[in-house]
Amino acid sequence: MTSVAIVTGASSGIGAATARRLAAEGFHVLAAARRTDRLAALVAEIGAAGGSAAAVECDVTSAESVAGLAAAAAAAPGPVTLLVNNAGGARGLDPVESGSVGDWQWMYDVNVLGTLRVTQALLPALEASGAGTIVIVSSTAGHVVYEGGGGYSAAKHAQTAVAGTLRLELCGRPVRVIEIDPGMVKTDEFALVRFGGDADRADAVYAGVAEPLVAEDVADCVAWCATRPQHVNVDRLVVRPLAQAAQHKVHRAG
C-alpha cells in the first residue's frame, strides 16, 4: 500500500517543494495549508507529473481545523508514515525593545503551537503505521540569536526544544523525530511575509548572495532523511548555502 505523507504549509516555498518531491518518491501526499487555490494547483501539477496528492485546507492555529486534517489522514489510502511540520514563518525584524507582541504571538502560535497541535493529532496514526517519521522544519535561528530576530529566534528555539523533547519521549516507540534547520533559503514569500509585503526589504535579505538555498534544496534534505532505513534517525540536519558560514557571516558580491 502507498504510504501517506502529510506536509503542512504546502501552499508555497519549502512545503510545496517538499510535497512535489515526496510525491515523486512515491508517497501519497496530503498537502495542507490555508490557501486552497494554491493547493489545488499543486495537486494538479503533482498528478500531471504522475504522482498522487490531495489538498486539505488546514489552519495550524485552529484545533478544529487540525482535527479535520487528522480526519483526512484517517481516510487516506494507506498508512500515515510521514508528517512534515513545515508551516511557519517570521514577522518583523524589530528589536526586543519595540517588537510587536502580536507578531511574537503569531510566530509562537504558527511555528510552535502549530507543530504541537498537528503532531498531537497525527501521532496515533504515525505510531499505528509501525514506522512513523516526524520531521520538524525549524531553522538555524533555533540555535543562535541575532539582532532583530528575537521573536523568530524565540519561536524557533522553542520548536527545536519540541523536537528534542519529543524524540526523548518517543524513545522505544516506532516513531522517529527529525529536525531540519535551514539557513538562508530564497523562497517567494518568507521574507515578504516577514516584512509585511515590503518587496524592497525582502529582496535586500538575499542581495549579492549568488546562490542562496532554494526550496528544492530543503525538500531534498527532507526526502533524504525520510527515506533512510527506519532504524536510522537523523536527529538534526543543519543546512546553509555555501555563502553563509554563520548567521552573521554571509558572503555578498559587490
Ligand X SMILES: NC(=O)c1ccc[n+]([C@@H]2O[C@H](COP(=O)([O-])OP(=O)(O)OC[C@H]3O[C@@H](n4cnc5c(N)ncnc54)[C@H](OP(=O)(O)O)[C@@H]3O)[C@@H](O)[C@H]2O)c1
Cβ-based burial of 130 (10 A; exposed 0-12, middle 13-18, buried ≥19): exposed
Q: Give every CB contact of residue 187 below 8 A, 6+ residues apart in sequence.
A: 12, 13, 14, 214, 215
Give the binding-site size for ligand X (rule: CB under 6 A).
30
| The three cell numbers locating residue 86 | 513545515
Within positions 126 to 145, which residues make up the interface with ligand X, using CB under 6 A?
Answer: 137, 139
Pattern 167-186, ligand X, x by CB under 6 A: ---------------x-xx-
For position 244 contacting ligand X by CB under 6 A, the verdict is no
Contacts of 154 (CB under 8 A, 6+ apart): 104, 107, 108
Q: Is 33 in the site for ligand X (CB under 6 A)?
A: yes
Whole-number minimum distance, CB 172 to ligand X, in Å? 29
Residues 56-115 that bind ligand X (CB under 6 A): 58-61, 86-89, 110-111
Check binding of 13 to ligand X (CB under 6 A).
Answer: yes
Q: How far is the CB of 139 from ligand X (least distance, A)?
A: 4
Active-site residues, by number, are 152
CB of 237 to ligand X, least distance (A): 12
8 Å CB contact between 15 and 87: yes
Contact partners, residue 139, CB within 8 Å, separation at least 6: 152, 156, 159, 181, 182, 183
CB 62 to ligand X: min, Å: 8
Q: What is the DSSP letter of 92?
A: -
Asked if residue 205 lies in contact with residue 247, where contact means CB atoms within 8 angstroms, the answer is: no
Q: 31 or 80, CB closer to ligand X?
A: 31
Max CA pair span of the chain? 54
Can residue 11 be called a binding residue for ligand X (CB under 6 A)?
A: yes
Kindly tell me which residue out of 3, 5, 7, 9 binds ligand X, with binding defined by CB under 6 A. 9
**Residue 54 or 60 with smaller CB distance to ligand X:** 60
Specify the residue, 189 or 203, whose C-beta has the smaller distance to ligand X: 189
**Regarding beta strands 244-246 and 249-250, do their DSSP bridges make them parallel or antiparallel, or are they unpaired?**
antiparallel
Q: Which residue is nearest to ligand X (CB)?
A: 13
Which is nearer to ligand X, 30 or 129 (by Cβ)? 30
d(CA 222, CA 228): 10
List interacting residues with ligand X (CB under 6 A).
8-9, 11-15, 33-35, 58-61, 86-89, 110-111, 137, 139, 182, 184-185, 187, 189-190, 193, 215
